């Protein structure tokens, strides 16, 4: 059950026409966004797109220049950070170096004046949650990066916030540990039934963890959708290009019939592609096709010249599970095509400089207005 698909369900967090200016620079630009309870939500975008600023406004460290932020029915205007039911975990973790793990976790509880016995119990719970029971008496410098990350997580969860905000939570971990920790975070979020809002510039991380992703650019949200929708049905050239690898064919529409469009690309390739959008003849469009949807063959495909082009293999990248080919077409355009090695014909491998045909089905790509 996905609450965002149900128009009757009430958002838990609402940004309503939020703008944030620093001097004459607009970091967040009239942004509206809804996040639902128990959602694992990712704000994804390149450095400087305003994602941290958005998170910091939710936490209360920055005030919007205009617009409002509603959390659980409450307008957050004028409410200081420590009185908001949110907690933020920073990339730097900001652990106190002179305090033990348990004292780091207890810090916020102590400040709130929680009775000693309750506090000890809560700290124990948190240590168990992040699997650090044996490390309670250690100091941060006696821990690995992954363990420090878990202490920071435990500390930010100790006060049982309704929402946990995570700013690049896994940025300091190496690739393998980062991937493991992604699944741990997802398990934890499920187990606690909390709403997580995570800021990341790492699209794979967002795709793996999030229920939904907001792709941001220049202080605005370009698309909000599930990882699969973002990948398979990007709403713009920007999103298609930002998420994963993609081949873009530019051209102007030469014709349209029910559910399909036809165009000739600037490189001279005739394309027929499924498209639910009704575009007018002459409209400049971009057809975005993922590398795994491009077929490579030795013979001219039966549907030539439609959706096909001749070229030669320019580069081959072996990635273990798959191989990525760069194919230079006769028109000079370089196309990326990938094949799964588990299904590749091993007895007849494709080699450098080999003449090939690329082709794709009329459902392989997305037609986007340029």
Residues in contact with ligand ATP by the rule CB under 6 A: 22, 25, 27, 45, 47-53, 201
Contacts of 338 (CB under 8 A, 6+ apart): 245, 291, 292, 294, 322, 323, 324, 325
Q: Which of residues 50 and 64 has its CB atom nearest to ligand ATP in the complex?
A: 50
Lay out the sheet containing 13-22: strands in order across.
25-35, 13-22, 66-71, 74-75
Quickly list DSSP for 261-295.
EEEEETTS-EEEEE-SS-PPTT-EEEEEE-GGG-E
Distance in Å, CB of 50 to ligand ATP, minimum = 4
When CB distances to ligand ATP are compared, the closest residue is 52
Distance in Å, CB of 66 to ligand ATP, minimum = 16
Distance in Å, CB of 25 to ligand ATP, minimum = 6
Q: Which of residues 90 and 314 has its CB atom nearest to ligand ATP in the complex?
A: 90
Phi, psi (degrees; rounded to nearest 5) at 99: -100, 150
Count of CB atoms situated within 10 Å of the CB of 241: 14
Q: Which of residues 89 and 119 has its CB atom nearest to ligand ATP in the complex?
A: 89
Return the DSSP state at 127. Answer: H
Count of CB atoms situated within 10 Å of the CB of 122: 19
Q: Which of residues 52 and 307 has its CB atom nearest to ligand ATP in the complex?
A: 52
* Contact yes or no for 279/256 (Cβ under 8 A): yes
Distance in Å, CB of 219 to ligand ATP, minimum = 7
Sole residue written with tokens 């990635």 = 319
| Interstrand relation of 74-75 and 66-71 (parallel, antiparallel or unpaired) | antiparallel
Distance in Å, CB of 39 to ligand ATP, minimum = 20
Sole residue written with tokens 């967002």 = 206
Q: Which of residues 51 and 178 has its CB atom nearest to ligand ATP in the complex?
A: 51
Q: Which of residues 43 and 337 has its CB atom nearest to ligand ATP in the complex?
A: 43
Distance in Å, CB of 257 to ligand ATP, minimum = 42
């Amino acid at each position: 059950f996905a609450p965002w698909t149900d128009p009757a369900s009430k958002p838990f967090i609402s940004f309503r026409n939020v703008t944030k200016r620093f001097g004459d620079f607009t970091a967040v630009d009239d942004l509206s966004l809804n996040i639902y309870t128990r959602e694992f939500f990712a704000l994804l975008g390149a450095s400087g797109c305003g994602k941290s600023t958005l998170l910091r406004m939710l936490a209360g460290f920055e005030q919007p220049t205009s617009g409002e932020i509603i959390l659980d029915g409450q307008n957050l205007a004028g409410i200081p950070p420590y009185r908001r039911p949110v907690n933020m975990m920073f990339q730097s973790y900001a652990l106190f170096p002179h305090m033990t793990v348990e004292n780091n976790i207890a810090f916020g509880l102590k400040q709130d004046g929680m009775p000693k016995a309750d506090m000890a119990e809560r700290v124990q719970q948190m240590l168990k949650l992040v699997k650090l029971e044996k490390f309670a008496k250690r100091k941060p410098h006696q821990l690995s990066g992954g363990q420090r990350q878990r202490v920071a997580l435990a500390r930010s969860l100790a006060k049982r916030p309704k929402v946990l905000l995570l700013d690049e939570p896994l940025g300091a971990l190496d690739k393998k540990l980062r991937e493991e920790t992604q699944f741990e975070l997802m398990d934890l979020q499920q187990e606690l039934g909390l709403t997580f809002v995570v800021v990341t510039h790492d699209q794979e991380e967002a795709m793996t963890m999030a229920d939904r992703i907001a792709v941001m650019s220049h202080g605005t949200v370009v698309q909000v959708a599930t990882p699969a929708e973002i990948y398979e049905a990007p709403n713009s050239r920007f999103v298609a290009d930002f998420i994963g690898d993609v081949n873009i064919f530019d051209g102007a529409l030469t014709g349209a019939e029910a559910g399909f469009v036809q165009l000739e690309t600037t490189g001279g390739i005739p394309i027929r592609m499924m498209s639910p959008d009704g575009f007018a003849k002459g409209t400049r469009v971009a057809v975005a096709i993922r590398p795994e949807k491009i077929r490579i063959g030795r013979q001219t495909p039966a549907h030539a010249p439609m959706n096909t082009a001749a070229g030669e293999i320019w580069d081959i990248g072996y990635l273990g599970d798959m191989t990525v080919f760069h194919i230079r077409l006769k028109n000079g355009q370089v196309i990326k095509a990938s094949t799964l090695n588990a299904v590749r014909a091993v007895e007849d491998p494709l080699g450098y400089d080999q003449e090939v045909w690329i082709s794709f089905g009329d459902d392989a790509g997305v037609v986007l207005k340029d």
